[in-house]
């Protein structure tokens, strides 16, 4: 009750300008699908929403509580697999599968947390990787249950229907767009509430100094597990969403170390421990990765007339640059980390405050 009143009070104190900007952006996003009639643009937006959900969830544990889990694929995969297994083998609509996935993920999180949170710093990171590897190998070998390395292909997505009223069907991209948007806004809202409540103070105190927090009446294992449970629940949501949207999952994508690192990168690139850091991270990483994959650099060079399409150089770039997209992506990520240690958002803030200081 008191916490609830507190949150209402804090909402009242929020200055109107950021709130208006937020509402305007949300409004624009709601109007996006009818105005922009391009499945590819919608696809990119959906991937951005997915990355926002993943990044914000990790941010609650990594950014606010300071526990750098490099094993979030565990919860992503738990959500994806639970939804997919129920949908494909039991014909359960993905909405219920998603809720089941959240329950499975929280349970997984509490088991992993109760073991890994005994460790701190780099040892926790290693343990989180190991725990997720165990899950990946389990999914790979429990063939009767998960189809093993073959993965699961969604052949038919049962729509959610109440009586004769159709709530959602999944034949176009539009429902995915709106569901992704709502989920992304929800996880941003939850992050905001966490930051403006006692829980957020306890999380941040543990991040800054666990022993000091402990001496100030904060139970570290309680709050670390709470943080992980919130984080895992939303990561699982992202996993379920991914599974239904892409329509195919296997252990080497949804339960891989790559996936775990990808989740962490969204936050590192955007800015750790800030509400909008993961949003910025998603806005940078998703288009970047798509652009590199579709070989936009070579296209640009050719259209700009810098490289002749038929010359050996042009041929070489056309053939190989698309394959090197992971390499280029990696190099760009390293550059960002080197020159913007607080992420893109922190870098922008520094430039803005620097300019203000010069003006003053």
Partner 1 sequence: MSAILELKHVSKFFGGLAANSDISFAMEPGMIKGLIGPNGAGKTTLFNCITGYYPPSRGEIFFKGHPITGLQPDRVCRLGMARTWQKVRPLVKMTVLDNVMVGALCRTNSLAKARNIAMEQLSVVGMEQKTHFIAGGLPIGERKKLEMARVLATKPELLLLDEVMGGLNPAESEEIIRLILEIKARGITQMVIEHDMKAIMRISDRIVVLNSGEKLAEGTPAEIVANQEVVDAYLGESHA
Which residues of the shown chain bind partner 1 in the complex (CB under 8 A)? Answer: 2-3, 5-6, 9-10, 196-198, 201-202, 204-205, 207-209, 211-220
* Rounded least distance, CB 338 to partner 1, Å: 21
Rounded Cα–Cα distance for residues 4 and 243 (Å): 34
* Rounded least distance, CB 216 to partner 1, Å: 5
- 120 vs 198, which CB is nearer to partner 1? 198
* Rounded least distance, CB 93 to partner 1, Å: 38
Closest CA relative to residue 71, chosen from 28, 139, 142, 130: 130
* Rounded least distance, CB 229 to partner 1, Å: 19
- 136 vs 207, which CB is nearer to partner 1? 207
- 209 vs 258, which CB is nearer to partner 1? 209
- 12 vs 358, which CB is nearer to partner 1? 12
Token output for 25 = 């952006």
* Rounded least distance, CB 202 to partner 1, Å: 7
List Cβ neighbours of 273 (8 Å cut-off, separation of 6 or more).
59, 63, 64, 204, 207
Backbone angles phi, psi at 45, to 5 degrees: -60, -40
Rounded Cα–Cα distance for residues 305 and 113 (Å): 55
- 66 vs 175, which CB is nearer to partner 1? 66
* Rounded least distance, CB 265 to partner 1, Å: 22
* Rounded least distance, CB 259 to partner 1, Å: 29
Token output for 118 = 């005994």
What separation in angstroms does the CA of 261 have from each of 70, 129, 332? 6, 10, 15
Closest CA relative to residue 52, chosen from 179, 227, 184: 184
From start to end of the chain, where are the E strands?
152-153, 160-162, 165-168, 248-249
Rounded Cα–Cα distance for residues 61 and 293 (Å): 31
């Amino acid at each position: 009750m008191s916490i609830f009143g507190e949150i209402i009070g804090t909402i009242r104190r929020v200055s109107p300008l950021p709130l208006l900007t937020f509402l305007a952006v949300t409004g624009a996003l709601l109007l996006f699908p009818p105005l922009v009639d391009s499945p590819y643009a919608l696809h990119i937006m959906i991937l951005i929403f997915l990355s926002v959900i993943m990044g914000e969830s990790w941010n609650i544990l990594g950014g606010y509580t300071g526990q750098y889990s490099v094993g979030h694929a565990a919860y992503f995969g738990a959500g994806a697999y639970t939804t997919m297994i129920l949908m494909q083998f039991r014909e359960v609509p993905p909405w219920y599968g998603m809720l089941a996935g959240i329950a499975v993920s929280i349970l997984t999180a509490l088991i992993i947390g109760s073991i890994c949170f005994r460790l701190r710093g780099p040892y926790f990171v290693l343990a989180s990787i190991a725990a997720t590897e165990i899950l990946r190998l389990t999914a790979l070998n429990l063939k009767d249950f998960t189809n093993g390395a073959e993965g699961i292909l969604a052949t038919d997505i049962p729509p959610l229907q109440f009586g004769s009223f159709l709530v959602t069907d999944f034949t176009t991209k539009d429902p995915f767009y709106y569901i992704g948007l709502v989920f992304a806004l929800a996880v941003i809202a939850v992050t905001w509430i966490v930051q403006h409540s006692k829980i957020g103070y306890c999380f941040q105190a543990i991040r800054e100094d666990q022993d000091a927090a402990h001496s100030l009446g904060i139970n570290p294992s309680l709050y670390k597990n709470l943080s992980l449970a919130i984080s895992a629940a939303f990561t699982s949501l992202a996993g379920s969403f991914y599974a239904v949207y892409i329509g195919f999952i296997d252990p080497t994508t949804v339960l891989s170390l790559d996936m775990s690192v990808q989740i962490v990168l969204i936050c590192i690139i955007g800015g750790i421990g800030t509400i909008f850091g993961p949003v910025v991270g998603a806005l940078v990483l998703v288009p970047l990765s798509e652009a590199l994959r579709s070989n936009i650099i070579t296209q640009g060079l050719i259209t700009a007339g810098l490289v002749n399409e038929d010359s050996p150089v042009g041929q070489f770039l056309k053939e190989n640059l698309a394959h090197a997209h992971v390499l280029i992506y990696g190099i760009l990520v390293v550059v960002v980390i080197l020159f913007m240690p607080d992420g893109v958002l922190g870098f922008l803030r520094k430039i803005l405050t620097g300019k203000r200081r010069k003006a003053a």
